[in-house]
Amino acid sequence: MTEKSFRYQIAVADLFSLLISEDAAGQWMGAVVELEPEAGGVVVVAAPGWPVVSGHVESIRQPDSVTFVWRAPDWPGPLRTVITLEPEADGARLRLTETGYGTDDDLLRRRDYLWSHWLVRLAATGAQYRPGGGAGRKYRK
């Protein structure tokens, strides 16, 4: 299991928008992203140097939580990622939990590294986000 907690100096609603916007997600992930922000919606992430990850939005509760279930060809099965947002005095706290690794410690390390990288980039994207300025365009096979 991966657990992360990061604090951001933007409002919960703004942080939530960065998480579910296809364009913004492309910027903070540094990937080509397809994201339909609704329960059952498609999510595909094609990041350079990583296998293409695809799945769906399991649940979404605006403005404070989203859950993804996704997989890649080299994973033992689907991973479940739960992201929750909580308001704080001058910003928001993001909590992320990802499960489904089984006994694959290498996958756990890779995902832990990737989420650490992405969540730092999310902070920078929040400060500099420009609609239409990212890699977040539709992924097509």
Q: How far is CA 19 from CA 74, 85, 103, in A?
A: 25, 10, 29
How confident is the model over 32-46, as pLDDT tens digits?
999 999 999 999 999
Protein fold of 2-128 = Alpha-D-Glucose-1,6-Bisphosphate; Chain A, domain 4 (3.30.530)
61-67 mean pLDDT: 97
Q: pTM of the full predicted structure?
A: 0.88
60-80 mean pLDDT: 95
Mean pLDDT over all residues of the chain?
A: 89
How confident is the model over 88-140, as pLDDT tens digits?
998 999 999 999 988 889 988 989 998 999 999 998 887 665 555 544 444 33
d(CA 139, CA 5): 29
Q: Where are the domains of the chain?
A: 2-128
